[in-house]
Structure 1
Amino acid sequence: MPGSEFENTLIDGIYEAAIVPEGWSRVLRDTARLARCREALLATVLDDDPRLIASSPEFGEAYEGLLQRIPFGVNERAQRLLAHGRHGFITDQDVFSREEIAREPIYQDFLIPAGYGSGVATVITAPTGDMTIVHCERSLADGYVDAAGIAALQQLRSHFARAGLISRRLAMERAHAASQALEMMGLPAAVLGLRGQVIDANDLFQGLMPSVFLDRSARLAVAHAPADEMLTAAIAAISQPDRPQPVRSLPIPARHGEAPMVLHLAPVRGRARDVFSFASAIVVATPVMAGAGPEAGLIGGLFDLTPAEARLAAAIAGGHTPREAAQRLGVTEATARTTLKRILAKTGSRRQADLVGLLRSAAPR
């Protein structure tokens, strides 16, 4: 049965937002209006880690704050939704008694004081292993969403599900296009998912498996253990951009006839509000070739070195000993060697020879 003009426009908007994620906030505002709620959100959840878009910045910030205080994995409201909301929209009334609401911290300490507490939501399981949650919220004082509101939302459920599949497919196509573009430049490259697992790799990168790289189910690994430790730290840090970041250019020595190389890891921040994109980083392997070293500015930017460290690193990469570099830079040899130790630590190099190879691989060709 055809819906109203408002509902038909809303459905069109859902599919448009699947392609242009900036449209999700407007779609969610209209979804909340359909259910006679104040706000709405759309979230994707993988391994109890939700990423969400909200109908308004204020609601998004408020819900992010809630999830920081009561994480998704131990959030009783979220867990009951997962248990009971996989076949349609449900309300708090369906999974909580009045007595439970009166004593649950999530209601008493956050939702009700903030003017919320009456939600209606559903969970949609995706073939990719993640879940999509569509959730509307209003004040508990306004009562629970009635049967008519739930029925109206239920008419949208399949459209949200299909839009999610479209968005995921488009995200995968973008990942594939990125790795193929790098292959055309002669660069082995792979796109990593949120957990560091390979979601796309070009033929050049696949040719380095398993001699150099290991495509494990948990995450990409490096066959050389010290480099793998650095990769583990770099992958873990991507999801925490506000914290100090480890080295993202990792030296890998020659193995099984392969040239020594450097693995560069670049975070993928994604488009605004694109919660269906599960790419976290692109990794590019560059072989170490003999040649002149890069200039200090490039070195400093790649490895987060201070200006003094970058100048010394450039001199070392140019073939100078620490004593010669110290003379060129007007510092004592002791200062140069102390600075060199900091450079080795920041770049993850164990020896000066490793550092030279790493820096020369970064030089433009």
Structure 2
Amino acid sequence: MKIDPFDHLVSQIYEAAQCPTHWPQVFELLRRQVSLDGWNLFRANRADDTALPVFFSIGGDAIRAGAQQSYLDYYFSVDPRTAFVRDGAPGQLFDCNRTFDQRYVSRNEFYQDFLIPEGLRYTLGSLACQTQQHDYVIGLLRGPDRGLFTGEDQTLVQRLLPHIQRSLRLMDSIQAQTQHASTAEQALATTPMAVIGIDRTGRLQHCNARAEKMLRDGVPVRMRHGRLVAADLAQRSALVAAIEQCARSSQPTSLLLLQDTPKLQRFSVTLMPTLGESILTGVSLPHSLLCLIAPLDRRRVATARQLIALFGLSPAEARLARAIAMGDTLESHAHAMGTKLTTVKTQFRSVLTKTGCDRQSSLVRLIAAIPVAREVDPIR
């Protein structure tokens, strides 16, 4: 069955919503129906006029390799077409020949120094889509030899614009959700807690990397028949009861899990109902619970590099501050570092001064309040 070229083009427009790298193929197909020497599709930030545009497609026989960089470096800021199009209504078609006459073009810096030397002259453009944060602008270009866009050309492009608008709006939403999920994933990667999403029967929905490791190790929880259970048989009924209570009351519930392998380990478990979107996926999951599990006998504190950046500590002072926050004494730290106790005491006084603390307990509370950032190359 032969597919109508217009219908095929529309189908490719919607494919590009999920895969933005597909937009060049869309314009190649469009070029077969509307003769073009060049084209572009870019996104501009509505809140920041100084931000450079993001191009999803720029191409054509008349577009040389360095044209995009020249445009970004300077000519975007003086392009009269872009300002005119972005001031218009979404979906409104802009014909530069009707807006900028030959007298204007002959005196305009953008046309004379950039567009015409690039072998281009005529533009058919539109504010194809406008979202809360972005303007999406499309430009179809012809050189002087190919001539003006005809009424038939404009009718075809006008038919395509509603499809392009819907595709761009969908693409914008997908990218926003992806960014939301990526940000949440990075935030969860820094937490010392295992974060597990379950439904109200205990079935796993999602979890962060720390929770994945915890489930693999089977301490203090594991999966059994697709449901979250305590690893210790004696505590399974307590966890099941806590899940049921949280699901029934929609109030947070806490319990303590113990694991005796090989030494006694304690874990706090907090269950709470989710509100709105999942922090792990950005997707609304009604009737879900979050299970937060944290080891009570292992303390994660801010890295030495964080303490250096925050308070201007020296590497030796940062190591001392971390050791104190983890429960070491000045004497034990001096012994571990092979340093005189008098030197460590001097470092400690400097740490208190730089952090604005008046005693050791204040320093411990201060460091405990700092979110921990992972390091690839920690300062030792």
Q: TM-score, normalised by structure 1?
A: 0.52
1:28 partner SS: helix
Structure 2 counterpart of 1:130, which letter? H
- Could you tell me which amino acid in structure 1 is paired with residue 123 of structure 2? G
CA distance in structure 1 between the partners assigned to 2:65 and 2:305 by the alignment: 37
The higher relative CO (CA closer than 8 Å, separation ≥ 6) is in: 1
8 A contact 1:292–1:317 mirrored in 2 = no
Partner SS for 2:127: strand
| Alignment partners' CA distance in 2, 1:303 and 1:62 | 45
Q: Structure 1 residue 357: deviation in Å?
A: 1.0
Paired residues for 1:9-28 under 5 Å: 9-28=8-27
Q: CA deviation at 1:68?
A: 3.5
CA RMSD of aligned residues (A): 5.2
1:340 & 1:116 partners in 2: Cα distance? 65
The answer on whether the counterparts of 2:92 and 2:127 sit within 8 Å (CA) in structure 1 is yes
| 1:16-95 aligned within 5 A | 16-45=15-44, 46-47=46-47, 48=49, 49=51, 50-56=53-59, 62-63=67-68, 65-72=70-77, 75-84=79-88, 86-95=90-99
Q: Deviations over 1:105-132 (max 9, x none)?
A: 2222222233334322111343536332
**Counterpart residue identity of residue 174, structure 2:** L
Amino acid at match of 1:136: L
The reply to whether residue 128 of structure 1 matches residue 122 of structure 2 is no
Name the CA distance, whole Å, in 2 between partners of 1:35 and 1:179.
Answer: 41
User: 2-side partners of 1:110 and 1:354: how far apart?
Assistant: 60
Q: Which whole-Å deviations, capped at 9, do the CAs of 1:141-179 have from their partners, x for residues lacking one?
A: 543333332222222111101112322343455567679
Q: 1:51 to 1:176 in 2, by over 3 A?
A: closer
- Give the C-alpha shift of residue 53 in structure 1: 0.8
Residues 216-268 of structure 1: CA deviation (Å, up to 9, x unaligned) = xxxxxxxxxxxxxxxxxxxxxxxxxxxxxxxxxxxxxxxxxxxxxxxxxxxxx
* Preserved contact between residue 54 and residue 60 of structure 1 (Cα < 8 Å): no
**TM-score normalised to structure 2 length:** 0.51
> 2:17–2:170: 8 Å Cα contact kept in structure 1?
yes
Q: Higher Cα Rg: structure 1 or 2?
A: 2
Match of 1:283 in 2: none
Question: Counterpart of 1:6?
Answer: 5
Alpha carbons of structure 1 residues 110 and 178: separation in structure 2 relative to 1, 3 Å: closer
Could you list the runs of 5+ residues in structure 2 that have no partner in the other structure? Answer: 189-194, 199-205, 207-291, 356-361, 375-380
CA distance change for structure 1 residues 33 and 292 in 2, over 3 Å: closer, same or farther?
Answer: same
Report matched runs for 1:200-239 at 5 Å: none
**Other-structure match for 1:237:** none
**CA distance, structure 2, for counterparts of residue 290 and residue 89 of structure 1:** 63
Q: How does 1:1-365 map to 2 (within 5 A)?
A: 5-45=4-44, 46-47=46-47, 48=49, 49=51, 50-56=53-59, 62-63=67-68, 65-72=70-77, 75-84=79-88, 86-126=90-130, 128=132, 130-171=134-175, 174=178, 184=196, 292-294=298-300, 300=305, 308=315, 311=319, 314-320=322-328, 328-329=336-337, 352-353=363-364, 356-358=367-369
The amino acid that maps onto 2:57 is: A
Please state whether the residue corresponding to 1:143 is helix, strand or coil: coil
The 10-residue stretch of structure 1 (55-64 or 93-102) with the greater mean CA deviation from structure 2:
55-64
CA distance in 2, matches of 1:119, 1:339: 66
C-alpha offsets along residues 6-65 of structure 1, whole Å, 9 cap, x if unaligned?
Answer: 332221110111122221222133334433223322223322443321144977963354
Q: Distance in 2 between matches of 1:340 and 1:61?
A: 53
- CA 1:29–1:185: 2 relative to 1, 3 Å: same
Query: What's the secondary structure of 1:43's corresponding residue?
Result: strand
**Pairs aligned (count):** 261
AA of the residue aligned to 1:146:
T
Greater shift in the superposed pair: 122-131 or 314-323: 314-323
Distance 1:130 1:56 in 2: 22
- Cα distance in 1 between the residues matched to 2:73 and 2:29: 27
For the 8 Å contact 2:308–2:314, the answer to whether it is kept is no
The CA distance in 2 between the partners of 1:7 and 1:71, in whole Å, is 32
CA–CA distance in 1 between the matches of 2:88 and 2:126?
Answer: 9
